[in-house]
Amino acid sequence: MPIYYVDGEFIDSDKAVVSVKDMIVLRGFGVFDFLRTYNRRPFYLKEHIERLKNSAEYIGLELNKSVDEICKITQETIDKNPELSECNIRIVFSGGISPDGVTPAGNGKLMVMVTPKHENPESWYVNGAKVITTDVERYIPESKSTNYLNAVVAQQTAKKQGAIEAIYIDRDNRVLEGTTTNFFGIKDGKVITSNKDMLPGITRSVILKLIKEKYTVELRDIKRSEIKDFDEIFISASNKEIIPVIEVNDLKIGKEKPGVITLDIMQDFADYTKRYGENK
Ligand SMILES: Cc1ncc(COP(=O)(O)O)c(C=O)c1O
């Protein structure tokens, strides 16, 4: 049984609880972040914890621990789970117990959950996957708050349509991001991804760093009408890495199989994460 960290203690995962009075239960008020290990080394841990801090600042939630302290606790929680060859790590900071139910009182609780790494179907990577679009605008999209109502509902719609992800499109027809992924389109050799009003994905930032010498990158708004003209599309996330997209709604993309540039970026990313894991 995995060991979690909850508010100062390392405990069995099934004994890990949070008060029903916490704003995370009553109001959906809290923040979280998610990362994985490569060869048991947490991938971009500091960047994830810095994003957690930013997520909290965006919604007026004060983390009562420093970035360094949370990094240390996260590493300790990984160390408490030596039997896991590769881990998923979920770090949650709750809103805490509020005297009036709505005003944060600076007593939020930190939770770190380390679980076996979830494996995605091989076919997503080999054959590509379908996504759908959905007209949703996240509230304060730069914050990874625990309120994922839109995502949970959109994911159900996606599944019913044989898709693995739903991509948010806003009132100005801008393609923003997926429920838990960032979105990339490729046109005439250029790699295009939106740059604002979305969560700054850590996987996205690593991809951009890896490809900047190799491909022309455009960081800009993407219009819904561009989707049909993309030669290739892929999505990125910590728990998915890079997944080629071959269908959006009922529209076939490119040659209906993972495109050459996507495959090349997937390879570069795989090489990089392998080196990252070896470089402890
Ligand atoms: C809304 C949203 N966008 C993008 C991402 C991708 O971010 P990352 O690459 O840091 O996992 C996530 C991750 O869960 C997300 O929830």
Centre of ligand 1 from the C-alpha of residue 29, in Å: 18
Pairing of β 190-193 and β 216-219: parallel
Residues 270 and 243: beta-carbon distance below 8 Å:
no
Q: What integer is the mean pLDDT of 127-146?
A: 98
Please tell me if the CB atom of residue 74 comes closer than 6 angstroms to any atom of ligand 1: no
Q: Are residues 85 and 198 in the same domain?
A: no
Q: Are residues 183 and 137 in the same domain?
A: yes
Which amino acid residue places its CA nearest to atom 4 of ligand 1? 181
Q: Are residues 9 and 131 in the same domain?
A: no
Residue that is last in its domain, among 98, 116, 134: 116
**If you average pLDDT over every residue of the chain, what do you get?**
97
Q: Which pLDDT does position 61 carry in this prediction?
A: 98
CA separation for the pair 109, 149 (Å, rounded): 22
- Kindly indicate the confidence band of residue 280, based on its pLDDT and cuts at 50, 70 and 90: low
Flag whether pLDDT at 146 surpasses 80. yes
Q: Are residues 65 and 23 in the same domain?
A: yes
For 139, the domain range is 122-278
Centre of ligand 1 from the C-alpha of residue 94, in Å: 19
Q: What is the CATH number of the domain that holds 35?
A: 3.30.470.10
Residue 175, C-beta contacts closer than 8 angstroms, at least 6 positions apart: 133, 167, 168, 169, 183, 185, 194, 222, 223, 224, 226, 227
Q: What is the CATH number of the domain that holds 230?
A: 3.20.10.10
Flag whether pLDDT at 179 surpasses 70. yes
Sign of CA dihedral 243, 257, 247, 220: positive
CA separation for the pair 5, 16 (Å, rounded): 8
Q: Are residues 190 and 88 in the same domain?
A: no
| Model pLDDT for residues 80-108, shown as the tens digit of each residue | 999 999 999 999 999 999 999 999 999 99
Element (H, E) at 267: helix 260-278
Point out which residues pair with 12 in neighbouring strands: 3
CA separation for the pair 23, 28 (Å, rounded): 6
Nearest of 226, 213, 125 to residue 173 by alpha carbon: 226
Q: Are residues 127 and 35 in the same domain?
A: no
Q: Are residues 73 and 130 in the same domain?
A: no
Which amino acid residue places its CA nearest to atom 12 of ligand 1? 180
Centre of ligand 1 from the C-alpha of residue 99, in Å: 32
Instruction: Enter the pTM of the model.
Output: 0.97
Q: Are residues 149 and 225 in the same domain?
A: yes
Q: Are residues 128 and 111 in the same domain?
A: no
Name residue 276's amino acid: Y
Q: Are residues 142 and 25 in the same domain?
A: no
Q: Are residues 271 and 151 in the same domain?
A: yes
Centre of ligand 1 from the C-alpha of residue 145, in Å: 11
Q: Which pLDDT does position 225 carry in this prediction?
A: 98
How many structural domains does the chain have? 2
Residues 166 and 177: beta-carbon distance below 8 Å:
no
Residue that is last in its domain, among 116, 139, 166: 116
Q: Are residues 112 and 159 in the same domain?
A: no
Residue that is last in its domain, among 89, 116, 143: 116
Ligand 1, residue 48: give the atom nearest the CA.
10
Which tokens belong to 50?
Answer: 């810095």
| Model pLDDT for residues 184-238, shown as the tens digit of each residue | 999 999 999 999 999 999 999 999 999 999 999 999 999 999 999 999 999 999 9
Please tell me if the CB atom of residue 33 comes closer than 6 angstroms to any atom of ligand 1: no
